[in-house]
Amino acid sequence: MGDIEFKGVFPILVTPFAADESLDLDSLDRVVRFMVGAGMDGVTVLGVLGEVNRLTDAEREHVIATAVEAAAGRIPVIVGTSHSGTKACIELSRRAAELGAAGVMIAPSREPSPSEDKIFEYYSRIAAGTDIPIVVQDHPASTQTFMSVPLLLRLVNELPSVRCIKEEHPPTPPKVAALVAGMSRRRVTILQGLGALYGIFDLESGADGFMTGFAFPEVLRAMVEAKRQGRLDDARAINDRFLPLIVFEQQPGLAIRKEIYRLRGLIASNRVRHPGTTVDEATAEQLQRLLERILPDVDLGKPIDDM
Cα distance between residue 92 and residue 81, in whole Å: 6
Cα distance between residue 169 and residue 155, in whole Å: 17
How many other C-beta atoms are found inside a 10 Å radius of the C-beta of residue 124? 17
Of 7, 87, 166, 302, the active-site residue reads 166
Known catalytic residue at 87: no
Q: Do 133 and 163 contact (CB within 8 A), yes or no?
A: yes
**Which residues are annotated as catalytic?**
166
